[in-house]
Chain A
Amino acid sequence: MTAQLEYPEVQDSDALLSIQGLWKVFGPKAQRVPHRPDLAALDRAALYTRTGCTAAVRDLSFDVAPGEVFVVMGLSGSGKSTLVRCLTRLIEPTAGSLIFEGEDLRAADEKRLRTLRRSKFSMVFQHFGLLPHRKVIDNVSYGLEIRGESKPDRRRRAQEVIDLVGLAGNEHFYPEQLSGGMQQRVGLARALANDPDVLLFDEPFSALDPLIRREMQNEVVRLHREVGKTMVFVTHDLSEALRLGDRILLMRDGGAVQLGTGDELVGAPADEYVRDFVRDVPRADVLTLRWIVRDARPGEPLDGPEVGPDVLVREATRLVLEADRPVKVVSNGTLLGVIDDEEILAVVADH
């Protein structure tokens, strides 16, 4: 099942977070499943009927680079939430290794883990996970409170992040008095308050209506630009994944189906499942010219306008259609090939 996947052969030494062979199995005697090839090979339904266990995450390996937005995507039940919780051992993985900044997280004891959670990781939740009995400011400073910072210090820091996420003026409301979008801003502020290196998001915006969702997505893009944190972002919404993700991991039944950039998923789906998944994407908005460039035919005029290979199809459409000859795709002075009306229309008119 994982055969067609192309993991980086060598471990990227400057990866921030490196996951190898990660398993999470729920159920009786879960421990045996990853270690027994006959069980590990079963698919989810068969495994369940045979052992009563569910493999929520099966044999995942990937690296997250510093500053990257790494998106995990998949349908409901594909194991996204379990995966993202395994990263900080909120859920204890069944097998595999978790290396963070060269440190083996699975070997960390309770205390070390708490220290890491207090300073290196933060998480934002689908249903916000706020504490209804605390005011906004006390929700935001919760993480600082439990690591024992003084009241003035945590007030000041909380105020900073509250301003950062655009919640100024709402400090003394209780969560139930805020709209969903505002509540999630509180969740975001709480996660930012202890200045973590990695932000984990578990479908943070799926409980919000589309307009607010878009606004919050922009907010994340802005924050990423401003504070430059590494993010692991779980979503089941493809357009969100494409908007935010540097790379996307597509999961099914706990396993990885494809790992790549957005245009790789759309341009070169690994199998029928991925193809289905990306079917409704407006391809012109995702694919770059690199994906449709072709070799020049003999005798074709090569004096058309030039464009780079990383231009989106949508952006090049007008140029190509208006030119009376094929457009040349040039990267660093090398000619990669040409594009004509045909190629453009095949993408734009696709559906």
Chain B
Amino acid sequence: MAAITSDVEVEVRRPRRGVVVGILLVAWVAVYFVLRGIDTLTLGSQETTTLHRWLTDHRDDLGQGNVVFDAIRMTVDQFVVLLQNLLAQPAYGRPVPVIGWLGVVAVAAYLAWAFGNWKVALLTAAGLGFVGLQGLWRESMDTLALTIAAVLLSLLVAIPLGIWAGLSNRAFRVATLVLDLMQTLPTFVYLAPLTLFFAIGPAAATIATLVYAAPPAVRLTAHAIRSVPAESVEAARSLGSTRSQTLTKVLLPMSRSTVVVGINQTIMAALSMVTVAALINAPGLGDTVLKALETLDVGVAFNGGLAIVVLAIVLDRVTTAAGDRPWRTASRRRRILLAAGAAGVLVAVWFSRTYVWAAEFPTSVNIGSRIAVTTSNLTNWVQDVFGGFTYGVRDAVTKGVLNPLEALLTGSPWWLVATVVVALAAVLGRWRGALPAAVCSLLLVATGVWHDSMVTLASTLLATVVVVAVGLVLGVWAGRNRRVDTWIRPVLDAGQTMPPFVYLVPFLALFGTSRFTAIAAAIVFAVPVTTKIVADGIKAVPVATVEAANSVGSSNWQVISKVQLPVARRAITLAVNQGLIYVLSMVVVGGLVGAQALGYDVYAGFTQSELYGKGLAAGLAIVLLGVLLDRVTQAAARRTQRFPRRGDKL
């Protein structure tokens, strides 16, 4: 019923909206040809505005010397250094870390076994061994130390917050509001402002990471607590449990596996952020990849990226296995084995503190350089053989689509663009769209990087269109076909757990440095999340609804277009929204491979101290773009949605 009425209304309304949008766009292009070049607010890459210079001059005013921020920075710093000394860096007058590689492998594998199973334990040992053989032991351990530090600190805050939000409705509403907002901020964005407070370095990197990684743990803990069946809680209360007994004996144990899923997501987010934090001098694998990207050394970048992927897989599999462990208490045999294993681990740790061979990862077999060389050769070969083709595609898209779009956005007077954006937002989402659009446009002008923002916007829009198209097709396919879904989902899951850096490498190999490279990487980065949300939305359409449509003789296409897509509209909006955010964060990281504009500005701000203020302004501009796009899509979705639906939140 609801679907049918809404269809009728769409039929009446949509053409009108489409026409208005079309007229607006045509008018814009027409005016562009008259006014192009006026008021474009262009700013050269080394040029700065008064605001930027002011920010650069006052960069230390906020953080340095402030007791609170200094205390936080020192504490976090010491914690990170402690972990680094433990795993990665020479410490306490020794030429090696406290625990050598053998000890680390043993401890890690043991933990994987104890919390997961022996298979993931093997995987852990193999994975760590592999990164060692890659010649990246120390870098990997640095990354691991930073990740562990950030995750522990993050969980320390996130789990109690999640419990609170799980128990109190008011806390839940506030938390949802804040977390939703945080989710609309691209990865990158956390870095720039934090350097204001905590200076550039590992502490700021860890803090950025812990802020970025906390939301999933909060969200899933709250969700887990809230979905414990009311009757189990009532049963506990009816027997006279105190509040803390109910919490510790009922709510927490029953939430365990969902909380572990949250921890898994927190870890993956942390790993990805720790690598990106190489931009603000975080040590580790991210740094390796970053340096290689700067020198366009695809081989070394690939080697580093591979190590990140291996770490990601290990961490993901282990935490997933931990979440899957059943309620049952360990059997007697397993307990004995665990005790024996613990003894073995202690011996390994002792070895790794005593003998050099167990402390320093052997360098005799280094497959890392071989991987790098092979990749470089392969890249050269690919570029020789397919270069004509790949570069052709690149140039065609750049010339045919990207350049005109960019010219329109950057060449129009800023007030023309702003007017069009606000008008479009008003048509799509009425005042809910128009108001944020107007505010964000004006603020963008104020940041002084309007021109660069428009360049980034052009890439973002192009990539998002592709992402949404691909995501819709794949998502509908997977949502309708169980076989496709089981086949495609692991790929998507794997894709989603990879840190954004990793995506740049193969595209750099294929397309060289260009805006197109960043766009292509962004598309691949954003497609998994979009596809998954669409597929879930399609799958959530009640079977009975689909059967009803089939029973009146609808064709497949009619079922998709008239039933499944409209009913799944909410999921599709979310998919578009998340696609945008992912694309935006990647287009920005793409600053490293020639995407220029905002991404480059931020990056330059971290590396050239006289551009610091501009980098900060560019970071702010990214946030503004994100908020602008997010608000407009949300407002548009709200308008198209006519029948209220309850609680299909994640």
Contact = CB atoms under 8 A, between A and B. Distances in A.
Interface stretch (A22-30, A125-133, A232-240, A303-311): A125-133
A131 B234 contact: no
A125 B231 contact: yes
A147 B239 CA distance: 9
A85 B231 CA distance: 11
A190 B237 CA distance: 13
Given A133-B254, A146-B245, A127 B328 contact: no
B241 interface: yes
Contact of B240 (A85, A117, A187): A117
Q: Give the secondary structure class of A's interface.
A: mixed
B236 A114 contact: no
Contact of B235 (A115, A116, A123, A133): A123
B250 A85 contact: no
A1 B555 CA distance: 56
Interface string A99-136: 00000000000000111111101110111111111000
B310 to A, nearest CB: 34
B239 A117 contact: yes
A183 B328 CA distance: 18
Interface in A156-212: 174, 187, 190, 194, 200
A142 interface: yes
B235 A194 contact: no
A306 B373 CA distance: 110
A90 interface: yes
Contact of B250 (A114, A115, A131, A143): A131
Contact of A142 (B236, B242, B327): B236
Contacts of B239: 117-118, 122, 142-143, 146, 190, 194
Interface centre among A128, A129, A142, A200 (most CB of B within 10 A): A129
Using C-beta atoms within 8 Å of the partner chain, give the interface range for chain B: 20 to 34
A97 interface: no
A199 to B, nearest CB: 11
A268 B239 CA distance: 39
A319 B256 CA distance: 66
Nearest to B250: A131
A114 B234 contact: no
Contacts of A127: 229, 231
B256 to A, nearest CB: 8
Interface in B213-238: 229, 231-238
Contact of B234 (A116, A129, A133, A143): A129
Contacts of B95: none
A88 interface: yes
B238 A117 contact: yes
Contacts of A119: 240
Contacts, number: 73
B235 A130 contact: yes
A187 B232 CA distance: 11
Interface in B312-357: 327-328
A115 B238 contact: no
A129 B253 CA distance: 14
Given A142-B249, A146-B249, A174-B328, A129 B240 contact: no
A126 B231 contact: yes
A143 B240 contact: yes
A96 to B, nearest CB: 20
Contacts of A145: 249
B238 A88 contact: yes
Nearest to A127: B231
A118 B229 CA distance: 21
A278 to B, nearest CB: 30
Interface string A237-250: 00000000000000
Interface in B182-238: 229, 231-238
Contacts of A190: 235, 239
A114 B238 CA distance: 8
A11 B254 CA distance: 45
A121 B253 CA distance: 25
B229 A147 contact: no
B237 A90 contact: yes
Contacts of A122: 238-239
Contacts of B231: 125-129
Given A90-B237, A146-B239, A129 B232 contact: yes
A345 to B, nearest CB: 47
Nearest to B257: A133
A290 to B, nearest CB: 39
A293 B544 CA distance: 55
Contacts of A128: 231
Contacts of A187: 235
B253 A133 contact: yes
A351 B299 CA distance: 88
A125 B235 CA distance: 8
A265 B254 CA distance: 44
A186 to B, nearest CB: 11
A131 B238 contact: no
Interface string A67-99: 000000000000000000100101000000000
A174 B525 CA distance: 43
A47 B60 CA distance: 61
Nearest to B243: A110
A68 to B, nearest CB: 20
B249 to A, nearest CB: 7
B354 to A, nearest CB: 42
24 contacts: A88-B238, A90-B234, A90-B237, A90-B238, A113-B240, A119-B240, A122-B239, A125-B231, A129-B231, A129-B235, A130-B232, A130-B235, A131-B236, A132-B327, A133-B253, A133-B327, A142-B236, A142-B239, A142-B249, A145-B249, A146-B240, A146-B242, A146-B245, A194-B239
Given A131-B249, A187-B235, 9 more contacts: A114-B241, A118-B240, A123-B234, A129-B233, A132-B327, A133-B253, A146-B242, A147-B240, A200-B238
Interface of A: 85, 88, 90, 113-119, 121-123, 125-133, 142-143, 145-147, 174, 187, 190, 194, 200
- 9 smallest beta-carbon distances between A and B, as pairs: A129-B231, A118-B240, A129-B235, A117-B240, A143-B239, A123-B238, A133-B327, A114-B240, A125-B231
